[in-house]
C-alpha cells in the first residue's frame, strides 16, 4: 500500500522509490519549494540543484529543475553526481537563494530523497520545511518547455576542490608519505579526496569506487556492520588510515592501521583539538544531546564554550551561523568546521584528520590514545529497535531509580530522554516521529556496561510497547 504523505524529517524528505518517491511527488515538492522562495525572497530567485549516485537521481534532479524553471526561477543544475557539501558550498559561493539536493544520504538503496539548503549553505530550518509542507499541492506543478532555457548545466566540483585545497595545509601535505584508503561506498564522494590530494606525496587507494545504485546490498552508511571488508583490509595491508564516506559524502568514519574503528564522537574530539591546538583557531564546540561526555572534557581543557543541541545537523548549522564555532558534530558522523559553509562535510573532516597526523608527526592511533589518556576512554553504543507504532513517548517515571547500580543524577528531555548517572554513564532513548523505530544510545567507561545499558533501555521500551 502506498504512503503518499510527504514529510520533511530530521534531514529532508526521504521515501521509497516508486512508492511515495515518485516523479509526481517530486514535482509537487519542487512546486512548493518554488512557491515558498518566490514569496519570501526580496530579489530574483536562483537555485542550485544537485544529485547523488542513487537510482534515477539525475532524472529527479532534471524534473525538479524543470518545475523551478517553469516558475521563472534561474536554475544551476550540476553536470554530474556530487556530494551534498559541494552543493552547499556552491549555494553560498554563488550567493544563491537556495539549493535542492536529490539524495537519501545513508538510507538503503530503495530510498531517495530531497534536502533543501538555505542561502548560507546550511540545512533548511524547521520553519522553512514546515512552510514548504504547507504549500504542497496548493498549486499543481506544470511544465513549460519555453522556460527550460533558465536551466544552466554547471560544474560545481572544480571550485569546491580548489577551495578545499586552499583550506588545507597543502604545503605540509605535499611532502607527507601517508597511505590512505578511501571507501566511497559507491556514493557521490567517489574520487574527490584523490583529486584534492593530487600533486602531494600521499598515496590514495579507492574502495567501493564507481556507481552502483544497489550499494552492493548494504546501506551506504559508515558504521561497523557495513565495513567488514574495509576493516579486514586495514588489518592486513599497510595503510595509515581509512576514511569512509556515506552515500552523499557529508558524513565520515575512520579506521586506524590495524583495523580499529574510530567512532564519530572521537573524530569530533580530534577535529576540535586539531583546529585549536595545531591551527590556533578559536570558537566553541557543538555536540548533540546524543554526544559523548568526552567532548565536555575537551571543551573544558581548551577553555571554549560547549553547545548542546537536539539531534539533527540543522541545529548545529544554525549555531554555526549565529555563533563563532570551531567544530560541531553529530553521533552519526556529520562534522562541520570553522571557515567553511555551516554544513557537514565528510571529505574535509577526513582530510583534516590526515593533516593532524602530518602536523603532529604521529599515527592516528597514537593521537587517539593520547586523547583518551587525557580526556577519558568512553565506549559509545547505539541500538535501533523496530516497534509497532510511531511517536513512542518515554518519561523519567519509566526509568528505574538507578541504572546498573548507579543513581540517576540528571534527566534531559528536550529531544527524547537522556538519563545521566553519578559515574558519567548515560542511557538515552529517542523515538522516531516519522517511522516505527526507537534508537537507544548509551555510553560508559566500560564496554560491557555500555552494552548492558542498551539492554536496560530495550526493556524499558518493551514494557511501554506492551501497555
Second-level CATH architecture of 13-156: 3-Layer(aba) Sandwich (3.40)
Alpha carbons 241 and 364: distance in angstroms, whole number = 7
- pLDDT, tens digit (0-9, with 9 covering 90-100), for 95-137: 999 999 999 999 999 999 999 999 999 999 889 999 999 999 9
Dist CA 325 CA 116 (whole Å): 22
What are the pLDDT digits (tens) for 320-352? 999 999 999 998 899 999 999 999 999 999 999
Please check whether the domain covering 379-466 is classified as CATH 3.30.310.50: yes
Domains in the chain: boundaries: 13-156, 168-375, 379-466
Q: For residues 290 and 106, what is the distance between their CA atoms, to the nearest angstrom?
A: 19
447: which 3 cell numbers?
Answer: 564496554
Per-residue confidence (pLDDT) for residue 433, from 0 to 100? 57
**Helix 84-93 vs helix 157-167: angle between axes, to the nearest 10 degrees?**
90
Question: Considering Cα of 41, then 47, then 53, then 55, what sign does the dihedral take?
Answer: positive
Secondary structure percentages of the chain, helix, strand, coil, to 5: 40, 25, 40
Residue 435: per-residue pLDDT:
63
Residue 10: the pLDDT is 74
- Under 8 Å CB-to-CB from 85, ≥6 apart: which residues? 160, 249, 250, 341, 343, 344, 345, 346, 347, 348
Same fold across 13-156 and 379-466: no
> Rounded to the nearest 5 degrees, what angle is found at the Cα of 270, between the Cα atoms of 266 and 274?
175
Given a cut of 50, whether residue 1 has pLDDT beyond it is no
Class of domain 168-375: alpha beta
SS3 157: helix
| Alpha-carbon span 231 to 258, nearest angstrom | 8
Confidence of residue 437 (pLDDT cuts 50, 70, 90): confident
In the prediction, which pLDDT does 11 show? 81
Alpha-carbon distance 461 to 62, whole Å?
A: 43
Residue 351 CB neighbours (<10 A): 25
Per-residue pLDDT for 388 more than 90? no
| More confident site: 309 or 433 | 309
Q: Report helix angle 57-70 to 23-40, nearest 10.
A: 40
> What is the spatial distance between Cα 135 and Cα 372, in angstroms, rounded to a whole number?
49
Going by pLDDT thresholds of 50, 70 and 90, the confidence category of residue 390 is low
User: pLDDT averaged over the chain?
Assistant: 95
**pTM, entire model:** 0.94
What is residue 2's predicted lDDT score, i.e. its pLDDT? 45
Q: Cα 57–151–56 angle (5° rounding)?
A: 10
Residues 248-259 have a mean pLDDT of 97
Taking residues 171-193, what's their average pLDDT? 96
- Specify whether the backbone of 389 is left (phi greater than 0), alpha (psi in -120 to 50) or beta: beta
CB 406 within 8 A of CB 422: yes
Q: Has residue 3 got a pLDDT over 60?
A: no
pLDDT for the residue 393: 87
Three-state DSSP at 410 gives: strand
pLDDT at site 312: 87
Q: Is the pLDDT of residue 432 over 80?
A: no
Question: Tens of pLDDT along 24-42?
Answer: 999 999 999 999 999 999 8
Give tens-digit pLDDT for 439-455: 999 999 999 999 999 99
456 pLDDT more than 70: yes
| Of residues 285, 222, 279, the one with CA closest to residue 249 | 222
- Enter the DSSP assignment of 249: S
Range scoring the smallest mean pLDDT among 63-67, 215-219, 452-456 = 215-219
Sorted by sequence, the CB contacts under 8 Å of residue 102 that are 6+ apart come out as 49, 50, 51, 52, 54, 57, 60, 61, 64, 112, 113, 114
Averaged pLDDT, 135-150: 95
Distance CA 309, CA 415 (A): 9
Q: What value, to the nearest 5°, has the Cα angle with vertex 242 and ends 236 and 245?
A: 135
Residue 179, exposed/middle/buried by CB under 10 A (0-12, 13-18, 19+)? Answer: middle
Q: Where are the alpha helices (DSSP H) in 251-385?
A: 264-273, 294-302, 313-322, 346-360, 364-375
Q: Which pLDDT value is given to residue 5?
A: 81
CA distance to 287, 378, 415, 427, per residue, from 430 (Å): 16, 20, 7, 10
Q: Residue 244: in which H helix or E strand, if any?
A: strand 241-245
**Could you read off the pLDDT of 266-322 as tens digits, one per residue?**
999 999 999 999 999 999 999 999 999 999 999 999 999 999 999 989 899 999 999
Amino acid at each position: 500500500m502506498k504512503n503518499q504523505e510527504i514529510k520533511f524529517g530530521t534531514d529532508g524528505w526521504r521515501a521509497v522509490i516508486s512508492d511515495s518517491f515518485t516523479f509526481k511527488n517530486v514535482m509537487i515538492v519542487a512546486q512548493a519549494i518554488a512557491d515558498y522562495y518566490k514569496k519570501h525572497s526580496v530579489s530574483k530567485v536562483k537555485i542550485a540543484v544537485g544529485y547523488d549516485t542513487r537510482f534515477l537521481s539525475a532524472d529527479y534532479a532534471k524534473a525538479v529543475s524543470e518545475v523551478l524553471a517553469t516558475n521563472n526561477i534561474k536554475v544551476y543544475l550540476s553536470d554530474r553526481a556530487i556530494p551534498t557539501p559541494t552543493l552547499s558550498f556552491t549555494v553560498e559561493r554563488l550567493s544563491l537563494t537556495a539549493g535542492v539536493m536529490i539524495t537519501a544520504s545513508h538510507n538503503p538503496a530503495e530510498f531517495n530523497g530531497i534536502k533543501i539548503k538555505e542561502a548560507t549553505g546550511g540545512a533548511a530550518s524547521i520553519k522553512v520545511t514546515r512552510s514548504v509542507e504547507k504549500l504542497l499541492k496548493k498549486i499543481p506543478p506544470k511544465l513549460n518547455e519555453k522556460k527550460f532555457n533558465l536551466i544552466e548545466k554547471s560544474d560545481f566540483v572544480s571550485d569546491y576542490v580548489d577551495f578545499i585545497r586552499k583550506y588545507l595545509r597543502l604545503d605540509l601535505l605535499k611532502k607527507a608519505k601517508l597511505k590512505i584508503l578511501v571507501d566511497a561506498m559507491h556514493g557521490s564522494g567517489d574520487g574527490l579526496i584523490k583529486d584534492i590530494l593530487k600533486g602531494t606525496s600521499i598515496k590514495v587507494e579507492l574502495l567501493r569506487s564507481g556507481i552502483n545504485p544497489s550499494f552492493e546490498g548494504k546501506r551506504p552508511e559508515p558504521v561497523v556492520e557495513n565495513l567488514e571488508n574495509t576493516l579486514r583490509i586495514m588489518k592486513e595491508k599497510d595503510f595509515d588510515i581509512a576514511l569512509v564516506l556515506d552515500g552523499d559524502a557529508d558524513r565520515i568514519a575512520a579506521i586506524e592501521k590495524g583495523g580499529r574503528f574510530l567512532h564519530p564522537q572521537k573524530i569530533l574530539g580530534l577535529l576540535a583539538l586539531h583546529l585549536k591546538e595545531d591551527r590556533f583557531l578559536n570558537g566553541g564546540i557543538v555536540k548533540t544531546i546524543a554526544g559523548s561526555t568526552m567532548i565536555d572534557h575537551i571543551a573544558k581543557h581548551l577553555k571554549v564554550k560547549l553547545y548542546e543541541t537536539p539531534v539533527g545537523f540543522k541545529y548545529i548549522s544554525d549555531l554555526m551561523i549565529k555563533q563563532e564555532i570551531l567544530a560541531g558534530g553529530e553521533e552519526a558522523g556529520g562534522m562541520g568546521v570553522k571557515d567553511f559553509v555551516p554544513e557537514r562535510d565528510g571529505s574535509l573532516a577526513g582530510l583534516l584528520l590526515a593533516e593532524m597526523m602530518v602536523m603532529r608527526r604521529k599515527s592516528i592511533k597514537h593521537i587517539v590514545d593520547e586523547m583518551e589518556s587525557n580526556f577519558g576512554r568512553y565506549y559509545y553504543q547505539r541500538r535501533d529497535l523496530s516497534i509497532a507504532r510511531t511517536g513512542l513517548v518515554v518519561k523519567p517515571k519509566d526509568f528505574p531509580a538507578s541504572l546498573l547500580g548507579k543513581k540517576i543524577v540528571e534527566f534531559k528531555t528536550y529531544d527524547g530522554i537522556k538519563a545521566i548517572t553519578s559515574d558519567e554513564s548515560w542511557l538515552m532513548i529517542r523515538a522516531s516521529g516519522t517511522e516505527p523505530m526507537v534508537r537507544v544510545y548509551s555510553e560508559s567507561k566500560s564496554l560491557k556496561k555500555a552494552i548492558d545499558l542498551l539492554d536496560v533501555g530495550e526493556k524499558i521500551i518493551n514494557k511501554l510497547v506492551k501497555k
